[in-house]
Amino acid sequence: MINVVGFRYARLGTADLDETVRFAQDIIGLEVVGHEDGSVYTRGDDRDHNICYFQGDPRDQTLGLELASFEDLDAAEAELSALGLEVRRGSEEEAAARRCMGFVNFKDPSGNSFDLTVRPFAAGRRYLPSRDAGIDEFSHIGLCVTDPRAAERFWKDTFGFRTSDWIGWSALMTFDAVHHRFALFPSQRPGIQHINFQVKETDDVMRSNYFMQDRQVRIQAGPGRHSLSGARFLYFYGPDDMVYEYSCGVRMVDDEWKARQFPVTDASFCAWGCKPDLSTVLEGSKDAAE
Amino acid sequence: MIEVVDIRYCRLGTADLAGAVAFATSMIGLEEVGRAHGAVYLRGDDRDHNIVYFAGDPADQVFGLEVAGFDALDAAARTLEDAGIAVRRGTEAEAAARRVMGFIEFQDPTGNRVDLVVRPFASGRRYFPSRDAGITDFSHIGLKTTDPRRDEKFWSGLFNIRANDRIGEAPLMSFDSVHHRIALFPTDHPGIQHINFQVESIDDIMRSYYFLTERQVVIRFGPGRHPTSGAMFLYYEGPDGMTYEYSSGVRRVDANWRPRQLPFKDESFCMWGSRPNIPEFGGD
């Protein structure tokens, strides 16, 4: 069993690096903390960085998770190789670019790329927001998977992730007390389906709602409240059609928590009644249910 | 000094009584509690009623404030008359229609009609909502004024009513610990400017936002949050062009509260960035 102890970063290719970084600063509210070799490091919390953008194919996406030690890294490398997955030990140079002391990269059964990092960098300086978005931290992602039931089994059996709730066949999974760190969504191809930043309170969600509207940023869903996690949310589109989410008030779960099954309906997605555009996300679930 | 202890009801003429009652029950979420002599009584809390609609001129609007007893009512009549305000004592039949034991009526300097009531009816049965809007109580009104400084002086000079904050020339006033119970908004004619019901939580505000939007109800302002009272709000258009408000989380103030002056601009009405479509609230 591979024990994940942290949720660290996303590395995202982008077709227009300057425009994407401008959006990250002016709209999302992230701080640019470094430029190196054509990559721009940004963050929404006090850790070294959360999102690294680089000029490249927007489908080139990697998520960085943290393991506790080099021993755990060696064991993980062996375990994933034994499963027949594509596993590669990162070079020192690559580790430096990821701002960690070591890592292996692997592809999950859907083809999503992950870095398992050891000793990713903390930062001495605290996060200085580029606008008053109220961001607290980089918290979870939605992940596109080609077979949601197989994907859930993989993350459960290999990593010990727990399912907190289901909507259709999509599992919302976690490795710690936060209701979900991964939300698995059925899709024809792999990829990061959305990137979540926690904000402090409902005021921040609502202020950003009007902030986005005033600037013609396309809202994907919300403002709303997730029936599953209880979080208030706002989803909006960034460059390369990446969906970003602000949310606050996510539920904390413990070992006593019993996963619930929700049907694929608007009300399962939003307790307030917003009408999400779930076409890409939930059609797959409906198909799988038939 | 006239001691107001509560705000009780609005009596509203309507051009379409059936339509007004249908909106109040199916959209606002009020309970119909009675019909008498062409008037329909509705409520959003456990008191006898909060709103009375009657077939008539929509400009015919009265709101009811409560004083503590008949002695207070007599004293109030003298205070108003001494100040040169015409006072009329209601008949027993009129009191019965208002579901109170007695009342006097007068007009403020703008011409807004006010009932001062004594011993308004409580109710044995609790409020049973007609839809899940989360209403907890009828809480305040916006009142139109043709001269806000004159009218603030009228209310605070003769009544236990004081301004807790001001936006431009508009005072937000109260007689108890709730941040505002009567808010005066400058315009060129008298009338009730909006009617507020408190709801339990932000969830109710947002559920109603989507509920009303889906049903093509005109949203006039919000969802938003007032920097003055801290309340989260939603204003929408009801029958006869009346503005109704749901809000949640209004600030409580005490004797140490110091009124603040906010400039007359959108962000003084909403700290989230929504923009009002309500003439008396301006619009940048």
Tell me the per-residue pLDDT of A110-158, one tens digit each, with 9 for 90 and over: 999 999 999 999 999 999 999 999 999 999 999 999 999 999 999 999 9
Residues of chain B with pLDDT under 50: none
Average pLDDT over residues A94-105: 98
pLDDT band at A282 (very low <50, low <70, confident <90, very high): low
Q: In the A/B pair of chains, how many CB contacts fall below 8 A?
A: 41
- At B208 the three-state DSSP class reads helix
Chain A neighbours among B 216-275 (CB < 8 Å)? Answer: 223-225, 232, 271-274
Confidence band (pLDDT; 50, 70, 90) for A249?
very high
Give the distance from residue A208's alpha carbon to the nearest chain B alpha carbon, in angstroms: 8
Residue A228 has pLDDT above 80, yes or no: yes
CA pair distance B232, B248, nearest whole angstrom: 5
**Residues in A touching B232 (Cβ below 8 Å):** 202
pTM of the predicted model as reported, rounded to 2 decimal places: 0.91
Q: Are A237 and A286 in contact (CB under 8 A)?
A: no
Chain B hits for A271, Cβ within 8 Å: 203, 207
Using pLDDT thresholds of 50, 70 and 90, give the confidence band for residue A287: very low
Q: Chain B: nearest CA to A139, how far in angstroms?
A: 23
pLDDT value for B283: 63
Percentage of chain A beyond pLDDT 70 is 95
Asked if pLDDT for residue A283 goes beyond 70, the answer is: no
- pLDDT at residue B134, rounded to an integer: 98
The answer to whether the Cβ–Cβ distance between A207 and B224 falls below 8 Å is no
Q: Tell me what pLDDT residue A276 has.
A: 80
Instruction: For residue A75, name the pLDDT band (cuts at 50, 70, 90).
Output: very high
Residues of A in contact with B246 (CB under 8 A): none
> Between β-strands B61-67 and B113-118, what pairing exists: parallel, antiparallel or unpaired?
parallel
Q: Kindly report the three-state secondary structure assignment for every residue of A110-123.
A: CCCEEEEEECCCCC
- Residue B224: list chain A partners with CB under 8 A: 206
Mean pLDDT of A227-246: 97
The interface predicted TM-score (ipTM) is 0.86
Q: What is the mean pLDDT of residues A176-205?
A: 96
User: What pLDDT, on a 0 to 100 scale, did the predictor assign at position B187?
Assistant: 97
